[in-house]
Amino acid sequence: MFKRFDGDARQPVEIFVDGRPVMAREGDTVSAALLASGLDVRRQTAVSGAPRLPYCMMGVCFDCLVTIDGMGNRQGCLVPVRPGMQVEIQKGKREIGR
Amino acid sequence: MTSNRPMRDEYDVAVIGAGPAGLAAASLSAQSGLSTLLLDENQGPGGQVWRAVTSTPLKQTRLLGDDYWAGSKLVEEVRASGAEILQGATVWSLDPHLELGISVGGGSQFIRARRVILATGALERPFPIPGWTLPGVMTAGAAQTVLKSSGLVPSGKTVVAGQGPLFWLLTAQILRMGGQIDLILDTTQRLNYLRALPHAAAFLRSPYLLKGLAMMREVRSKVRVVSGVTKIAASGDGRLERVTYEVRGRSATAPADLLLLHQGVVPNVNLAMSAGVKHQWDEIQLCWVPVLDSNCGTSVDGIAIAGDGAGIAGVLAAVARGRIAARAAVEALKPEAGAKAPSMDTLRAALAKVERGRRFLDVLFQPPKQFRIPEGDTVVCRCEEVTAQDILDSVAIGATGPNQLKAYRRTGMGPCQGRLCGLTVTELMADARGKTPEEIGYYRLRAPVKPITLSELASLPKDESATKAVVRG
Amino acid sequence: MTLRADAIIIGGGIHGCSTALHLCLRDFRPVLIEKDYAGRHASGVNAGGVRQLARHVAEIPLSIRSMDVWENVQDLVGDSCGFDSHGQVLVAEDEAELEICRARVADLNMRGFSHEELIDAKELRKLVPAVAETCPGGLVSRRDGAANPAQTTTAFRRQAEHLGTVVREGVEATNIRKDGRLWRVDAGGETYEAPVLVNAAGAWGGRIAASLGEPVPVETVAPMLMITSRVPAFIRPVVILRGRKLSFKQFENGTVLIGGGHLATPYQDSGETVLDWRKLQESARTVWELFPIMRNATVVRAWAGIEARTADDLPVIGPSARHEGLFHQFGFSLHGFQLGPGTGAVMAELIATGNTNTPIDGLRVERFAT
């Protein structure tokens, strides 16, 4: 869907998506890093389990919800990546506190 | 200065949103000696138009255009102004007593302000076509966001559909950066060119005219553009695979990995409405706009709205309105400091100049009814997965407005709190019931306007050892 | 134009709608006048608790009668109302609170009521596995449960209309007066007249009573609620606390409702409320301590509904002490939702026959006469 622009000179940042290492860049939001990763990062909705990817990327649609470092329902499009960050793709309703 | 949490409990002025309006407002306010807090949800200033202006990997001026880099000047100005700048801060509550609930760094706190300037901007108008919830369908603004902040460009088969001035800007930017666009579906109604004609004279003097035309030419020379599109549907198994569209009653299909939708922007009303600010339906822009006085003041004493949240008018008007709102705060709180700042007359004249020609764009790019009011099993509320037919069924058994519909179908009760369905629901119910959108009304919005965790609200720790200390202590 | 009805009901909350429906079942043709829309205020936005548990003894017979109506609500209104019956549990946070529970059960048993049972720590954990381990027990009322308040109120309204009630929404009842035997009320350009007038106007009921020379000590309040995003099912009964203000309920769809009676500021004339986030912070803290599992749940929305609270926290139900043909049904003081279906039946009985078998003596307006 997306590729990185050739002239991007930002520092790489390693994060983990469902345990798999992914190279993001400094300044990426979690959602941008996921979209650029080429992985299947579709979440499933809590209502029907329908697959979704981020829609607005500006904090209003909530289709980018992910679990970040154990905390569920974070807006991936607003959270910047940090080295070693653990990201989980949400499948259905979140366990509380997850 | 940029801080990690508010340094005081009370400010003269709190500005919410660090886009063009917010930057201009905070800067003028702080320069006049008012204690000023600028709050913004993103990691860096700029809002949507100047997103990532301090951090974008696209350092070459040519790629994003001069208008984009104009933002860095205003960022420098606000940084030098003495305003306290808080990035990554979500304002989840604002009440009529001007108390703000702020979530920052995983904790919540309250601050008070004597004046609040809302510069929460716009969001893209819902574009509820069949299949718009499929992975691979995004807003054009979303593509622009990842382009500016992360240098991502579309790489697979890409279709861009919709209309409006930003539509052409975005497609031009993607193409300049080597992104792929295979097809552009232009939904501008042919009839609108006639409707807009009476407003054309003013537009001829608009700063946007030449830039807009140049951009359209640039795009048309590189990509196939299909105009007069009257129907669009996305489909695929678990993700987008194709886009079907109709022109003059003839249907065609294009394979697609990515469909970018855009049919204009509308004010982001959630925070203002939750504070009790009175809004009305704008018959031309087809959205809710706050009722404002000539100082950008709202129906709630002490709350002003600047920028596209005050009605869509673009970046230059946002800056002008930001200054007007800030000037009004200065006049109210510290009139003697007003002498240094430009006079209100000067500011209002500047606004009038950049508003010129807006009506032309509003009328020309008024989105067609079929792209605002969907039918059948097209999803309206993405969060709760409610279709147009579900809503009509509820109307048939007695739901008269959006607030009753919540009880019947939970529309607008998901995490987005109506941002992606509210306008559709109002227009759909108005259409079904033969009423005006003004008569149908909107969701009653409430804080928290963004979800917050219970721990955050309780301002209590999340980790186990700290938890034990609290429970025992 | 003057229109004749068998009864004029002011207020389209659960109470007005239920009374309208039950009057129709007795072949009355009432008109119901609602200034906003049915369920706009407290009836549509309350916590939805269907609770006999922990009620004042004066209300218990009415509450039990209402429970019978609730258990057949599908047949009555053709809608489930979202009613489920997983019980309500009152949690004692320490031994002293448990002792009060023990005395409560003894007192109720002596009065012939058996709906509340004392439970120990083990049974509490069985009913509410997620509760903090320090709680020693509490009370359960097993027939209790919860319903969707807006769905319920609209279902009662719809069925009342279906059975013959004239429902006038969006018009205010004004100029309430009595000419001879007939009550006359103006609403939306019409005048309605009827031998019976029912004051079921919720937060606005006190004003109506006062304007008719029968003042009741009543204040306007707005209890706050908040709700979380969907989480997997972890709790079935509704939980309330003995000491602190908390009610806690998970819906079928996974969302968790947190209430308990902390108050917002009501603005009665505009029908709006301003939330008190410091109080909601207290609720959040209570949940945080009692249900560790909820600590990172996200709060999606908070709101408050406007209603009336009387000086003794009990509703005003029954005929006026002053005017023939006037009936009061308001002042439910934060706990009127469960009572709605049954109170409508009792009111219809009182209006149609002059009597009811359900004891309501402690609830009559006379108690406030000076």
Residue A94 forms contact with C (CB below 8 Å): yes
Domain total of chain A? 1
What is the ipTM, given to two decimal places? 0.95
pLDDT of residue C229: 86
**∠ CA C84-C87-C92, rounded to 5°:** 145
Candidate from A71, A73, A97 with C-beta closest to C229:
A73
Q: Are residues B418 and B378 part of one domain?
A: yes
Pair B260, B128: CB distance under 8 Å:
no
Do C301 and B417 lie within an 8 Å CB cutoff?
Answer: yes
Q: pLDDT tens, B71-128? A: 999 999 999 999 999 999 999 999 999 999 999 887 888 999 999 999 999 999 999 9
In a domain, A40, yes or no: yes
When pLDDT is averaged across residues C233-262 and rounded to a whole number, the result is 91
Do B150 and A9 lie within an 8 Å CB cutoff?
Answer: no
Q: Are residues B114 and B135 part of one domain?
A: no
Residue B462 forms contact with C (CB below 8 Å): yes
- For residue B102, the cross-strand partners are B91, B109
Pair C133, C122: CB distance under 8 Å:
no
Phi, psi (degrees; rounded to nearest 5) at C224: -100, 150
pLDDT of residue C327: 98
Query: What is the helix (H) or strand (E) element at residue C149, kind and residue range?
Result: helix C149-162
Q: Which domains does chain C have, with CATH numbers?
A: 2-77+149-216+313-368 (3.50.50.60), 88-143+219-309 (3.30.9.10)
In a domain, A21, yes or no: yes
Q: State the residue range of the domain holding A68.
A: 12-88
In a domain, B4, yes or no: no
Higher pLDDT pick, C269 / C292: C269
Tokens of A42: 């579709």
Do C294 and A96 lie within an 8 Å CB cutoff?
Answer: yes
Domain total of chain B? 3
**Which is nearest to C158 in space by CA: B391, B402, B396, B390?**
B396
Q: Are residues B118 and B21 part of one domain?
A: yes
Q: Are residues B95 and B36 part of one domain?
A: yes
Q: Are residues B204 and B244 part of one domain?
A: yes
pLDDT confidence of B460, banded at 50, 70, 90?
Answer: low
Chain A, chain B: beta-carbon pairs less than 8 Å apart: 138
pLDDT of residue C306: 94
Q: Neighbouring chains of B at 3+ CB pairs within 8 Å?
A: A, C
When pLDDT is averaged across residues B294-318 and rounded to a whole number, the result is 97
Q: How far is C284 from chain B (nearest CA, A)?
A: 5
pLDDT of B41 above 90 = yes
In a domain, A76, yes or no: yes
When pLDDT is averaged across residues C136-144 and rounded to a whole number, the result is 97
In a domain, A18, yes or no: yes
Residue A29 forms contact with B (CB below 8 Å): yes
Q: pLDDT tens, B138-181? A: 999 999 999 999 999 999 999 999 999 888 988 998 998 889 99
Please tell me what DSSP assigns to residue C14: H
The CA distance from B450 to B90, in Å, is 8
Q: Are residues B276 and B193 part of one domain?
A: no
Q: Are residues B248 and B317 part of one domain?
A: no
Q: Which residues of C touch A94 (CB under 8 A)?
A: 229-232
- Kindly report which listed range (A83-87, B376-380, C257-261) carries the lowest average pLDDT score: C257-261
Candidate from A71, A93, A97 with C-beta closest to C230:
A93
Do B138 and A53 lie within an 8 Å CB cutoff?
Answer: yes
When pLDDT is averaged across residues B58-66 and rounded to a whole number, the result is 78
Candidate from C154, C278, C294 with C-beta closest to B454:
C294
Q: Are residues B418 and B383 part of one domain?
A: yes
pLDDT of residue A32: 98
The CA distance from B308 to B331, in Å, is 23
The CA distance from B114 to B97, in Å, is 9
Pair C39, C160: CB distance under 8 Å:
no
**Which is nearest to B27 in space by CA: B48, B45, B8?**
B45
- The residues, ordered by sequence, that sit 6+ positions from C88 with a Cβ below 8 Å of its Cβ are C49, C51, C52, C53, C140, C141, C144, C145, C237, C238, C239, C240
Helices B66-80 and B20-31, packing angle to 10 deg = 30
Q: State the residue range of the domain holding B249.
A: 126-263
Among B224, B248, B263, residue at a domain's last position: B263
Q: pLDDT tens, A12-70? A: 999 999 999 999 999 999 999 999 999 999 999 989 999 999 999 999 999 999 999 98
Higher pLDDT pick, C136 / B208: C136
- For residue B160, the cross-strand partners are B184, B260
